[in-house]
Amino acid sequence: MSTEDDDAQAAATDMCCASCGNTEGDEVKLKTCAACKLVRYCSVKCQKEHRPQHKARCKERVAELHDEILFHQPESSHLGDCPICLLPQSLYHDDATMMTCCTKIICDGCKFANMVHEMEANLESKCPFCRKPESKSKAECIQNRMIRIEKKDPVAIREHGAWCLEEKDLGGAVTFLTQASNLADAEAHYQLSKLYRDGEGVEKDSKKEWRLLEKAAIGGHPAARHNLGPARVTNVGMREQRNIISSPPTLDKMIQ
């Protein structure tokens, strides 16, 4: 049976159980297959009985849905917008500052405007976003970060993982980056993928590396999308698809 026939059949069974044919009513509540969203079932029993027939098409549709998300060009990078001026963040890391008090990334324009205002009014230097006094020492920065970590802030958790990596604490880096990755932080996905690629703190695992790269790419991480571009397979069609993911050439020099 072709894919079109499968879809037509799925559409026909959308209002009834794909296994027993029961229609939805007051006593029958149909639940959609959580993986493929193509068919519905009236009970777990029916879902299990229909599984052998549905498994192949379900797996195929899951892959299609994944590719639709992966190949879709994100509207912005993983950095998002400046929380003050709401303009897209620059891909150059030196064009913005992460505030340790609230982990917000403030563009240089807003930070400069805040600095000028404070100087003219002879005010204490404070965070442009949360208005807390800026950290004056490395120890205070770490203390602020730990407070944010206790609040399950993925950015703070990821930054602490990066700090552990700088301090050669690979175990701590893996732990914190994994926690941030589990909270859907795109940068954590990317940094963790490099650890699995190089076998630093973890065993080399190309499957985990690839899966994390794809998650980072879906999150709009330009370096992840760039790294997914060069095909690791010989199939020409797949290579063309991978190139769709890749960042535009003009962004190559921005990627570190």
**pLDDT tens-digit profile of 150-176?**
999 999 999 999 999 999 999 999 999
Greater pLDDT, 148 or 14? 148
Integer Cα distance of 216 and 225 in angstroms: 8
pLDDT at 148: 94
Domain co-membership, 165 together with 240: yes
SS3 117: helix
Of 3-12, 90-99, 211-220, which range is least confident?
3-12
Residue 58 vs residue 254, higher pLDDT: 58
b/e per residue 16-47 (b: at least 16 CB within 10 A): bbbbeebeeeeeeebeebeebebbbbbbeebb
Domain tally, the chain: 3
Q: Average pLDDT, stretch 190-195?
A: 95
Question: Does the structure show a pLDDT above 50 at 255?
Answer: no
For residues 179 and 124, membership in a common domain is answered with no
Closest CA to 183 of 209, 202, 159: 159
Which conformational region is residue 215 in: left (phi greater than 0), alpha (psi within -120 to 50 degrees), or beta?
Answer: alpha
Last residue of a domain, one of 112, 134, 156: 134
pLDDT at 3 over 70: no
- Range 30-45 average pLDDT: 91
Cα 70 to Cα 80: distance, rounded to the nearest angstrom: 18
Name, in order, each residue with C-beta under 8 angstroms of 169's C-beta and a sequence gap of 6 or more.
Answer: none
Residues 199 and 216 in one domain: yes
Same-domain status, 105 and 155: no
Say whether pLDDT at 52 is over 70. yes
- Asked if residue 200 and residue 160 are part of one domain, the reply reads yes
pLDDT for 70 equals 81
Average pLDDT over the chain reads: 84
Is 217's pLDDT higher than 80? yes
What is the mean pLDDT of the segment spanning 174-179? 96
* Alpha helices, DSSP H, located in 13-43: none
- Please say which residue of 29, 53, 71 terminates a domain: 71
Same domain, 150 and 226: yes
On whether both 60 and 83 belong to a single domain, the answer is no
Q: pLDDT (tens digit, 9 = 90+) per residue, 55-96? A: 999 999 988 888 788 877 777 788 899 999 999 998 887 889
E strands, the chain, in order = 31-32, 40-41, 96-98, 105-107
* CA atoms of 218 and 184, how far apart (whole Å): 10
The CA angle 251-235-220, to the nearest 5 degrees, is 30
124 versus 26: which is more confidently predicted? Answer: 124
pLDDT at residue 203 is higher than 80: yes
pLDDT of residue 103: 92
Is 80 exceeded by the pLDDT of residue 147?
yes
> Do 46 and 104 fall within a single domain?
no
Residues 6+ apart with CB under 8 A from 225: 217, 245, 246, 247
Q: Are residues 143 and 224 in the same domain?
A: yes
Q: Give yes or no for residue 251 having a pLDDT over 50.
A: no
CATH classification at residue 173:
1.25.40.10
pLDDT value, residue 111 = 94
Domain region containing 195: 139-254
Please indicate, yes or no, whether residues 144 and 248 belong to a single structural domain of this protein.
Answer: yes
| Predicted pLDDT of residue 5 | 53
pTM of the model: 0.73
